[in-house]
Amino acid sequence: MTVIYIDSLALLNFIVNYLLLLATARVGGMGFRRPRLAAAALFGAGYAVAVWMPGLAFLSGLFWKALSCAAMTFIAFGGARIPRLIRLCLLFAAASFLLGGVVLALGMIAGAPSSGGIPYMPVDFKTLFLTAGLSYAALTLAFKHMGRHGAREITEVRAAWETRQVRVRALLDSGHTLTDPISGAEVLILDASAALTLLPPRAAALLDPPLLRDPAGVMELMGTLGFGTRFRLVPFRAVGVDCGFLLAFRPDRVSVRGKDRAGCLIGISPTPLAEGIDALASTL
């Protein structure tokens, strides 16, 4: 008779599901929120536990597995459009098959029981976390050439200039590497509309879109208003732009995910960023 410890089963599947979803986000170049990944992983853990319950073994069927995969993908990345959700779901399924082979092999070696292909390994926490870590490493190694983007995450960024403060929704992207060539400081990109609420009124008045297309001219005007020491021009390259300049300024404070980023500059984007995003920062 096999004795199943529900807490160990749930914990193992929660950790593995979370790592699978994290790998899916990285490979798919998808921005993500950790609480949503955790919620999806918790759903998957609940499904794994349900399969072992008396009278619920039918949930191990292919249809229910596919439905669980789709539900987890929707919980984790529900803000994406349907074509991208389908792609993420397929990536998640592929990662699950790969990891399933690893876990199944470990289960066979350990002689662990299984139900509907979902193994249960009564192991200690040290082995548990080691297995999860090795599985994530295998996923990252297997899919590292598939992703077109680096790790991306949606989070909160706060900035302050004297008594003015702004709190915006930002995309952290490991592919964002813009820095000031003189000081080497990181440059966070901020939407012009958000910068309007942060800068002093006299400076904010110069942030009209037509003026921002001439950052050198705005820089000169900032100097006449007494803000010359706070502003500078940062060279950048982008798709369709071999070499351009971005108007940037030094705020009093910038924090990302609640952690201060000393010396960080803020570059003002002359065009709107992605829908629902007001800032772009590096993951560091």
236-255 pLDDT, tens per residue? Answer: 876 544 457 889 999 999 99
Assign 65 a pLDDT band (cuts: 50, 70, 90).
confident
Spatial separation of the C-alpha atoms in residues 211 and 234, rounded to whole Å: 16
For the four alpha carbons of 156, 159, 163 and 164, in that order, the dihedral sign comes to: negative
pLDDT of residue 149: 44
107-134 pLDDT, tens per residue? Answer: 555 555 554 555 555 555 555 566 666 6
Residue 2 has pLDDT above 50, yes or no: no
Spatial separation of the C-alpha atoms in residues 257 and 69, rounded to whole Å: 29
Q: What is the pTM of this model?
A: 0.52
Tokens 């440059």, residue located: 187
For the four alpha carbons of 128, 130, 131 and 133, in that order, the dihedral sign comes to: positive
81-93 pLDDT, tens per residue? Answer: 787 788 888 888 8
Q: What are the domain boundaries of the chain?
A: 6-143, 152-281
6-43 pLDDT, tens per residue? Answer: 666 777 788 888 888 887 877 766 667 788 999 999 99
**Ranges assigned E (strand) in 39-163:** 114-115, 118-119, 152-161
Tokens 């065009």, residue located: 271
pLDDT of residue 1: 42
171-198 pLDDT, tens per residue? Answer: 887 677 788 888 888 899 999 989 999 9
